[in-house]
Chains A and B, each alone.
Chain A
Amino acid sequence: MSENTMAPVAIDPDAWVRSQLRAASAQRLRHGLSVWVLRLVVIGGALFLWQSLVNARVLDPFVVSSPQAVGAFLLENLGTGKFWTDVQATVLATLIGFVLASIAGVVAAFVLAQSKHLHDVVDPILTFFNSMPRVAFAPLFVVWFGLGITSKIVLAFSLCFFIVLSGALVGLTQVDSDLNTITRQLGANRRQHFVKLVLPNALPSIAASLRLALIYGFLAVVVGEMIGSSSGLGQQIAYYSGVLRMDAVFGILLVLGVLVSAAVALMRAVENYFLRWQ
Chain B
Amino acid sequence: MPVKSGGIRSGLEQAQTPAGTTQGLPLNGASKQQGSGAAISFSHVGQYFLLREKSGARAIEALHDVNLEIQKHEFVAIVGPSGCGKTTLLNIAAGLVQQQFGEARVNGAVPQAGQKNVAYMLARDALLPWRTAIRNVEYGLELNGVAKKERRHRAGELLAAVGLSGYENAYRSQLSHGMRQRVALARTFALDSSILLMDEPFGALDSHLKIQLGELLLSLWEQNKRSVMFVTHDLHEAIALADRVIVMRPKPGHIAADIPIPLPRPRNLNSLQVNSEYHELYQHIWSVMGNV
Of the candidates B129, B130, B171, B191, which one forms a contact with A186 in the assembled complex, judged by CB atoms under 8 Å apart? B191
Inter-chain contacts of A45 with B (CB < 8 A): none
In the complex, what's the smallest C-beta–C-beta distance from A210 to chain B, in angstroms?
18
CB atoms of B128 and A179 under 8 A apart: yes
| Complex-state Cα separation, A192 to B142, whole angstroms | 10
Known A277-B172, A277-B173; judge A187-B114 contact (CB<8 A): yes
| Complex-state Cα separation, A31 to B116, whole angstroms | 53
In the complex, what's the smallest C-beta–C-beta distance from B56 to chain A, in angstroms?
26
Q: Is B96 an interface residue (CB 8 A)?
A: yes
Give residues 51-76 of A contacting B (CB, 8 Å). none
Q: Is A181 an interface residue (CB 8 A)?
A: yes
Q: Is A37 an interface residue (CB 8 A)?
A: no
| Complex-state Cα separation, A203 to B143, whole angstroms | 20
Inter-chain contacts of B142 with A (CB < 8 A): 196
Of the candidates A185, A197, A275, which one forms a contact with B128 in the assembled complex, judged by CB atoms under 8 Å apart? A197
Of the candidates B115, B120, B144, B171, which one forms a contact with A182 in the assembled complex, judged by CB atoms under 8 Å apart? B120
Inter-chain contacts of B114 with A (CB < 8 A): 184-188
Q: Is A44 an interface residue (CB 8 A)?
A: no
Known A178-B124, A184-B113; judge A192-B143 contact (CB<8 A): yes
CB atoms of A178 and B173 under 8 A apart: no
CB atoms of B171 and A178 under 8 A apart: no
Number of A-B residue pairs, CB cutoff 8 Å, is 59
In the complex, what's the smallest C-beta–C-beta distance from B182 to chain A, in angstroms?
12
| Complex-state Cα separation, A61 to B113, whole angstroms | 74
Known A185-B94, A277-B130; judge A178-B122 contact (CB<8 A): yes
Q: Is B240 an interface residue (CB 8 A)?
A: no
Known A181-B96, A187-B140, A187-B144; judge A200-B128 contact (CB<8 A): yes
Inter-chain contacts of A185 with B (CB < 8 A): 94, 113-114, 118-120
Inter-chain contacts of B128 with A (CB < 8 A): 179, 196-197, 200
B115-147 CB mask vs A (1 if < 8 Å, else 0) is 110111010101011110000000110111000
Known A178-B122, A178-B124; judge A188-B173 contact (CB<8 A): no
Query: Which residues of B approach A to under 8 Å, CB–CB?
Result: 94, 96, 113-116, 118-120, 122, 124, 126, 128-131, 139-140, 142-144, 171-173, 187, 191
16 A-B pairs within 8 Å (CB atoms) are namely A176-B126, A179-B128, A181-B126, A185-B114, A186-B143, A186-B187, A187-B114, A187-B140, A189-B143, A196-B128, A196-B143, A197-B128, A201-B130, A275-B130, A277-B130, A277-B171
The 3 closest A-B pairs by CB, nearest first: A186-B140, A178-B126, A185-B120
